[in-house]
Structure 1
C-alpha cells in the first residue's frame, strides 16, 4: 500500500487540495484557498514526474507566494464596493434616525428605517424625543448617535 502511495503521490495532493478547498468554504477567509492552490501546484509537479521533495518545495513556494501576494489583493477587491454592497450594520452608519424617547449617553430608543434600536449619544448629551439624529456607529445592539437636528414643525412623533 505504501509503495502504491509513493508511486501515486498525485492522489495525496488531490485529496489535500480538495480538503483545503472544503475548509475554505467554511472559513471564507481566502487563506485555505491559497494553500489549495499550492496543493494543485504540487499535484501538477507529481503528474510531471518530480520527486516528492520537489513536490513539497513547489507546494511551499506557491502557497507562500499566493498568501503573500495574491491574498491581500483579493481581499482588497472583495472588501471594496458601493453602498449597495454594504451589508447589515454597515448600511446603518450615516443613516438618519428618529429619537422615539429621550436619548442620553446611557440609554434611549431610536427608529432607523423601520426598526427600533436602543441608542445612546456619542458625547453623553441628551437628545429629546422626536429629534432627528445621525447614526455614528453600531456598538453591539446599540446605535450610537450624534448631531441633534430639530425639525421645522417642532418635535416629530414616532408614528
Structure 2
C-alpha cells in the first residue's frame, strides 16, 4: 500500500496537534500548521524538497512572529481589573475629614475608612481625592 506524502504530512500535523493539547506548547501548533502547508504543496504537485522547505519556512515564520506577540500579551496586566485592583486610581468624595490617622470617604458607592498618603495633608468634607492604594479595609488617598 502506497500512501501519498500529503497524507503523511496530515498525520504528522495531527500528531503535533495532539502533542500540543497534551503539553500546551504553542510551538507544536505552529509546526502543525507548517505540516498542513507542506501537505497542500504536495497536493498541488510540489516535490519533496519544496514540501520540506515550505514546512520549515511556515513553521519558523509562525514561531518568529507569533511567539513575541504572545509573550507580550502574556506579560501585560489584565485590562479588566477586579476587586481591590479595580478601586486603585479611582476618585472618591470625602465624607468625614481625612488625615494621616483616618477619616471616611465614599468610593464606588460605598463608605470606606481612609487615611492620607501624606500624613501631614488633610482633606475636608466634599473634596475629591484619588485612591492610590488599599490596605485591608482602608483606602489610602491623596
For this structure pair, what is the TM-score category when the shorter chain's length is used for normalisation?
Answer: 0.5 to 0.7
TM-score w.r.t. structure 2 length? 0.52
CA-CA distance at 1:41 after TM superposition? 0.7
2:87 — aligned with what? none
1:77 equivalenced with 2:92 (yes/no): no
1:34 — aligned with what? 30
Q: Secondary structure at the match of 1:60?
A: helix
Q: Secondary structure at the match of 1:50?
A: coil
1:19 — aligned with what? 15
1:123 — aligned with what? none
The one-character-per-residue Cα deviations of 1:11-64 (angstroms, maximum 9, x if unpaired) are: 101101111011111222311011011001101101111011110111011111
Unaligned runs of 5+ in 1: 92-148, 153-159
Q: Secondary structure at the match of 1:16?
A: helix
- Equivalent residue in structure 2 for 1:58, among 50, 54, 59: 54
Structure having the higher Rg: 2
**Number of residue pairs matched by the alignment:** 92
Contact map agreement 1:34 1:71 (CA 8 A) in 2: no
Q: Which runs of structure 2 are paired with 1:1-159 in the superposition (5 Å)?
A: 1=1, 4-5=2-3, 8-82=4-78
Deviation beyond 2 Å, 4+ runs, structure 1: 74-81, 83-86
Q: CA RMSD in A?
A: 3.5
Q: Secondary structure at the match of 1:21?
A: helix
